[in-house]
A and B are shown apart, each in its own frame.
Chain A
Amino acid sequence: MVFEVFRQERKGQAFQHAGSLAAPDERFAEEYAREFYGRRGESQAVWVVPREAIHEIDDFADELERNYHRVDGYSLKEKLRAARERAGTSAS
Chain B
Amino acid sequence: MSGRAQALLELADDELVLGWRDSEWTGIAPSLEEDVAFSSIAQNEIGHARALYELAARELGTTADELAFDRPPDDYRCSRFVELRLVPEWDQTIVRHYLYEVADGVRIEELRRSGDSEIAGLAAKIDREEVYHRIHAEMWIDRLRGSREAERADAAAERLYPLALGLLDEALRPVFVERVAAKTGWDFSGEATAPRGEHDDGWEPLWQEMTEVRRSEPGAKW
Interface size on A, residues (CB 8 A): 12
Contact B135 A31 (CB under 8 A): yes
From B31, B37, B132, B136, A22 is in contact (CB under 8 Å) with B31
**A contact residues vs B (CB 8 Å cutoff):** 21-24, 27-28, 31-32, 34-36, 39
Please give, as numbers and ranges, the residues of chain A lying within 8 Å of B132 by CB-CB distance.
31, 34
Interface size on B, residues (CB 8 A): 12
Interface string of B15-44 (1 = CB under 8 A from A): 000000000000000011110110010000
Please give, as numbers and ranges, the residues of chain A lying within 8 Å of B36 by CB-CB distance.
32, 35-36
Jot down 5 A-B pairs with beta carbons below 8 A, ordered by A: A27-B139, A28-B143, A31-B37, A32-B33, A39-B40
Question: How far in angstroms is the closest Cβ of chain A from B157?
Answer: 21
Closest to B37 in A: A35
**Distance A22 CA – B36 CA, assembled complex (angstroms):** 12
By DSSP majority rule, is chain A's interface helix, strand, loop, or mixed? Answer: helix
By DSSP majority rule, is chain B's interface helix, strand, loop, or mixed? Answer: helix
**Distance A28 CA – B139 CA, assembled complex (angstroms):** 7
Closest to A23 in B: B33
Question: How far in angstroms is the closest Cβ of chain B from A42?
Answer: 14
Closest to B143 in A: A24
Please give, as numbers and ranges, the residues of chain B lying within 8 Å of A31 by CB-CB distance.
37, 132, 135-136, 139
Contact A32 B139 (CB under 8 A): no
Interface string of B29-67 (1 = CB under 8 A from A): 001111011001000000000000000000000000000
**In the complex, the 9 A-B pairs of residues with the closest C-beta atoms, listed nearest first:** A32-B33, A27-B139, A35-B37, A21-B33, A35-B40, A35-B36, A31-B136, A32-B37, A22-B33
**Distance A33 CA – B132 CA, assembled complex (angstroms):** 12
Please give, as numbers and ranges, the residues of chain A lying within 8 Å of B32 by CB-CB distance.
22
**Distance A21 CA – B31 CA, assembled complex (angstroms):** 10
Please give, as numbers and ranges, the residues of chain B lying within 8 Å of A39 by CB-CB distance.
40
Given contacts A27-B135, A35-B40, 12 further A-B contacts (CB under 8 A): A22-B31, A22-B32, A23-B33, A24-B143, A28-B139, A28-B143, A31-B37, A32-B33, A32-B34, A35-B36, A35-B37, A36-B36
